[in-house]
Amino acid sequence: MLNNKIPPVIVVLFFAGIMALIAHYSVIDFTAFITYLAASLVIIGCVFCIAGVASFKIANTTVNPNKPEQASKLITSGIYKISRNPMYVGFAFILAGWGVWLSSLWALLCIIGFIAYLTFFQIIPEERALTKLFGEEFTAYKARVKRWL
Q: How many domains does the chain have?
A: 1
In a domain, 1, yes or no: no
Under the banding of pLDDT at 50, 70 and 90, the label for residue 64 is: confident
pLDDT value, residue 48: 98
Q: Say how many Å lie between the first and final Cα of the chain, rounded.
A: 57
In a domain, 12, yes or no: no
Is the pLDDT reported for residue 4 higher than 70? no
pLDDT value, residue 65: 85
pTM for the whole structure: 0.83
Angstrom CA distances, 17 to 10, 12, 54, 82, stand at 10, 9, 57, 50
CA-CA distance, 122 to 72, in Å (whole number)? Answer: 19
pLDDT value, residue 1: 54
Sign for the pseudo-dihedral over CA of 36, 40, 46, 47: positive
In a domain, 11, yes or no: no
In a domain, 13, yes or no: no
pLDDT tens digits, residue range 96-126?
999 999 999 999 999 999 999 999 999 999 9
pLDDT tens digits, residue range 31-52?
889 999 999 999 999 999 999 9
Identify the domain containing residue 124 by its residue range. Answer: 29-144
pLDDT value, residue 30: 83
* Mean pLDDT, the chain, whole residue set: 92
